[in-house]
Amino acid sequence: MTFPNGKDNLMNFEVSIRPDEGYYLGGTFLFSFQVSPIYPHEAPKVKCKTKVYHPNIDLEGNVCLNILREDWKPVLSINTIIYGLYHLFTEPNWEDPLNHDAAAVLRDNPKMFESNVRRALSGGYVGQTFFQRCI
């Protein structure tokens, strides 16, 4: 966890996630968190700053995670969100996609999905989209 705006702005921070299993093993993914003044009554705004080939994260960094939307409850914590983000990398969900192309490949051809993820993590093109190396 880092605080890019300094120690006086603790409501905006970044978290790196490094999955230790699954398709995204070895990758490092940076997420920004903006915590509302009315937290915990409103979920933090979370964006993925690392462009990633993922069914639940679009190319603009928007994240599809139920606890950031309709399932948010004030009893949930920042740790719960971080665990949920980690879980997206160990168990990507093609049934609730933001990146519909990646979701369709995961659903229909998991081996090709794995190949696409490895190519993206290593720095390369998947279709017409270039991904920076993050492994």
Residue position matching structure tokens 């996630």? 17
Spatial distance between the Cα atoms of 118 and 124, rounded to a whole number of angstroms: 9
Half-sphere exposure of 66 (CA within 13 A, CB side): 5
134 is catalytic: no
- 48, 64, 85, 121: the catalytic one is 64
Bridge-based pairing of strands 45-48 and 124-126 is unpaired
| 3-state DSSP assignment of residue 96 | coil
Which residues carry out catalysis? 64
